[in-house]
Amino acid sequence: MNKAMFIIITALFALPAFLLARTIWPFPQTPTSGLITFFTLTTAIESIFTGIGISFVFLVLTKYITVLNKQGILGWLSFVSIAWILISGYPHDNSHIAQGAELHGLVPIEIFFHGTLAIAALIVMKYFLKSLKSKNKF
């Protein structure tokens, strides 16, 4: 996979996602400065993961679609699942914020659940790409 293209696509989607997050999903009440900093960082990370997910979709479909077709329904479902896990955190968490969830209560959920889910998604994505590459050699 072309790493430069991966980075470019990620940035092209992550930056607008980050910049538009509070416009699309504003804070319902004014949080403390510490919470603003935490959720700004969280939104930045989730925006990057959304960009990674979009890059994953675009680049896998352009380079490995033939291999993916040979893998059948399980290959396609795995591909869609990885993309969904990478992309869905951004609207999921921002929806909690905009709906007035208790922000202090979201902090441990963000760190221990969503953070580990994002790391797991990267691991599975890397394994999936390695699998596609090895099957593309034959």
pLDDT tens digits for range 25-76? 998 888 899 999 999 999 999 999 999 999 999 999 998 999 999 989 999 9
> Structure pTM?
0.88
Alpha helices in the chain (DSSP H): 3-24, 33-63, 65-98, 103-109, 115-136
3 state DSSP class of 99 = coil
At 104, the pLDDT band (50, 70, 90 cuts) reads confident
> Cα 58 to chain center, whole Å?
14
Q: How far is CA 82 from CA 20, 34, 85, in A?
A: 24, 32, 5
At 137, the pLDDT band (50, 70, 90 cuts) reads low
Q: Report the percentage of the chain scoring pLDDT > 70.
A: 98
Would the pLDDT of 1 be above 80? no
Mean pLDDT of 18-30: 92
Would the pLDDT of 11 be above 80? yes
pLDDT given at position 136: 77
Q: Report the percentage of the chain scoring pLDDT > 90.
A: 66
Higher confidence at residue 1 or residue 113? 113
Task: Let me know: does 95 contact 125? Beta carbons within 8 Å.
Answer: no
Calpha distance 92→106 (Å, rounded): 12
